């Protein structure tokens, strides 16, 4: 009975995945035609990684696919939590689309994102603890409320900052979503599973148009929505569980490390941390001579590695904690040292 049920579930998942991938790819094509007619273009400047005007806003197709899947999956979930996610995710996506079209001020964006984060925490809860491999559980108490707010706003923007070369944002979304699919299936989190499946399928459909050389960019509508979604997936999984926060961090570790360390380094130099720049590790790799596809593939593989370790840790495998706490930072240190040796990265 179990094997038959699992086989039906697997076949259904594959069929839905294929359908959503096709719909996303078609949606991106439609948005591309619209963006070209309305001149919604990303024009290159001295800080850009592309050399020709390119349509943007293709990530809106991912948003539509995920929200549609979320509406259907709501019937299998905590109604309040799922509705809060759908409404807040739609607000974040709309804000991003407005920024794609009209370039909103940073103050306006952060104000709305802050309100969305507050609504998410009030509606879905906040992290009261975090479990750190090898060290155990750390109680956060009331401080967890602030940490959760900063986590949501921070990851929403970090994902946007990291959407700078062909394929990287969509590729990491695909691999991280696959990780969430396996984790959610393991814990019977139906809503999270279908959201993750929709993200993976939507991102794959988008990558048909965005892989180097990109015909359209994701835009803020897609990148901020994905950042917000990956930030609240741990809350949707377990609103107080420390394991969920650690798992969510692991699946976003490449973007968190790159955006976080770059932000801190620029802040220490007293630079404008919100101004456009080309000092992220992925940008410096491109400047140093690596192709967009090579760098994006590297980030995808590192995300898949973290997803594998996250899954192993969730199953209690003893080799996972040391590899997470020691292995991943060593990989990033090696990558950073490699970048520092490249020519023409300054």
Give a yes or no: residue 172 inside a domain: yes
Number of domains observed in the structure of the chain: 1
Give the mean model confidence (pLDDT) for residues 80-89: 95
**DSSP state letters, 179-219:** HHHHHHHHTT-HHHHHHHHHHHHHHHHHHHHHSSSPSSB-H
Give a yes or no: residue 219 inside a domain: yes
Give a yes or no: residue 55 inside a domain: yes
How does pLDDT run across 32-73, given as a tens digit for each residue? Answer: 999 999 988 887 765 656 667 899 999 999 999 999 999 999
Give a yes or no: residue 308 inside a domain: no
Report the C-alpha gap between 151 and 257 in whole angstroms. Answer: 14
Give a yes or no: residue 267 inside a domain: no
Which range of residues forms the domain containing residue 127?
2-244
User: What average pLDDT does the structure give for the chain?
Assistant: 90
Give a yes or no: residue 276 inside a domain: no
Give the mean model confidence (pLDDT) for residues 250-255: 97
Give a yes or no: residue 325 inside a domain: no
Give the mean model confidence (pLDDT) for residues 142-151: 95
Give a yes or no: residue 252 inside a domain: no
């Amino acid at each position: 009975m179990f094997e038959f049920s699992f086989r039906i579930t697997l076949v259904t998942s594959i069929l839905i995945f294929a359908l959503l991938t096709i719909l996303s790819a078609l949606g991106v094509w439609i948005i591309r035609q619209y963006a070209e007619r309305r001149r919604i273009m990303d024009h290159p400047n001295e800080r850009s990684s592309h050399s020709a005007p390119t349509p943007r806003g293709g990530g809106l197709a991912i948003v539509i696919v995920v929200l549609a899947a979320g509406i259907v999956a709501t019937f299998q979930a905590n109604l309040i939590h799922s509705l809060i996610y759908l409404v807040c995710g739609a607000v974040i996506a709309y804000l991003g689309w407005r920024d794609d079209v009209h370039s909103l001020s940073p103050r306006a964006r952060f104000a709305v994102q802050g309100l969305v984060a507050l609504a998410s925490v009030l509606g879905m809860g906040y992290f009261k603890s975090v479990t750190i491999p090898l060290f155990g559980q750390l109680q956060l108490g009331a401080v967890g409320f602030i940490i959760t707010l900063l986590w949501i706003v921070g990851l929403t923007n970090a994902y946007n900052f990291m959407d700078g070369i062909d394929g990287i944002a969509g590729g990491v979304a695909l691999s991280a979503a696959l990780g969430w699919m396996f984790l959610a299936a393991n814990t019977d989190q139906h809503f999270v599973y279908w959201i993750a499946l929709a993200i993976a399928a939507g991102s794959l459909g988008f990558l048909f148009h965005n892989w180097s050389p990109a015909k359209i960019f994701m835009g803020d509508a897609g990148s901020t929505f994905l950042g917000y979604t990956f930030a609240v997936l741990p809350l949707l999984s377990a609103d107080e569980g420390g394991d969920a926060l650690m798992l969510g961090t692991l699946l976003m570790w490449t973007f968190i490390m790159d955006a976080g360390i770059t932000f801190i380094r620029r802040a220490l130099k007293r630079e404008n941390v919100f101004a456009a720049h080309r000092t992220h590790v992925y940008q410096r790799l491109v400047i140093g001579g690596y192709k967009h596809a090579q760098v994006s593939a590297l980030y995808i593989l590192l995300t898949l590695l973290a997803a594998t370790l996250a899954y192993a840790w969730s199953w209690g495998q003893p080799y996972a904690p040391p590899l997470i706490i020691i292995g991943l930072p060593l990989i990033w240190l090696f990558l950073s040292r490699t970048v520092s040796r490249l020519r023409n990265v300054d």
